[in-house]
Structure 1
Amino acid sequence: MPVDTTGLFLSAIGTVAGVVSAYFAYVAVRHQLSRRRHRPVPAPPAPGSAPYDVFVSYGREDADWVRAFAARLGEKGLNVAYDEIVSRPGGIRVHTVETAIREAAHGLLVFSPDSMNSGWVRQEYAALMQPSIESGRLFIPVVVGDVELPEFAATRYFADFRGMGGASGRDGAYERRVDEIARALRDHGRS
């Protein structure tokens, strides 16, 4: 029986074309996956370009302290965000806080026994620390209670407010500390 060589030849070409096509599809998929894994780290927002100068994370029991502290930073010309400021009736807390953290130029976390035991604050800590490590955003640990800082936070100089009576402190240490933080937030990245 004679063999149809034309059919065999076309079948072989079809097989090769299929293999080549599959190879190029494989390369394209690998390239896309590689790009996702190795995304460039975004640059920190330029001074004055972010809607907020700083996002403040804290535990519920520290809310009164944070309100007074944020007000003092605001008096120094900083646009301060924290959950109570960015929340709107009907909004979804996780989305509004996440957006505020992402849009803030820098991050600050108030470390106290309450905040150290809060799952919500741990999530905010991760969201604040990652851009600090990856893109140079300033992260300032603010210590208001007797706590041991987590390892990554402990690599930063912290602002120690332990034992200070708040804005009414007679020795002016509270105001000096707030001034130091405000200066650090304004000057970070300007060199």
Structure 2
Amino acid sequence: MGAMRPSARWGIRMSAFPNANITARNGCTPGVPSPYMIMCLELSVDPDVDLVFVEYTLNDGHDRLIFESQVVKDSERLVRRILALPNHPAVVFMHVPSHGIAGYPPSHPKFEKERDIYAEFYQTSEDVEAAVSQYYDVQYLSLRTAVHHLAAHKEAPGFLWEQLFGGKGGRLRQVVGCRLAVNRLGD
């Protein structure tokens, strides 16, 4: 789940497995939080699905509570609904940096005072959602963990915040996220 344009390349990738019966469905509804999907799961996820990617870190927002966190409650409800589907699909949480984390600190020359907000690495609901993943023994992949050091500390070309998240950065972010998933699934 998560908004991504369909690609002609997907067919090429599936043709690498000619004897496999592969059906891919992008059932995302862009810009909605996880409570929407809890209520409308049947509209977006086929009941006989084998693998579901879930990405709501950004849309679920931030909750300062660790105990009694609404983000945790919603994530848990969604995971339980997906795991209860007839095929008991594999679930992979995909975490993207939430607002302010994918940006430069106020002391950085690229920080735009009028436009930017800044949050520290740990100021995200991702960590409490990861606890849900751990409890239910489902995989999770963190784009924040994968790129933060390269973007925030090393300013490595190809991994700058504006390349990952600005303008056409959504495409690069999707590529990095997909590669994380493919490499993890191959383990």
Pick the structure with greater CA Rg.
1
Q: TM-score, normalised by structure 2?
A: 0.38
Q: TM-score, normalised by structure 1?
A: 0.37
Whose helix proportion is higher, 1 or 2?
1
Q: Which has the higher contact order (CA 8 A, sep 6+)?
A: 1
Whose strand proportion is higher, 1 or 2?
1
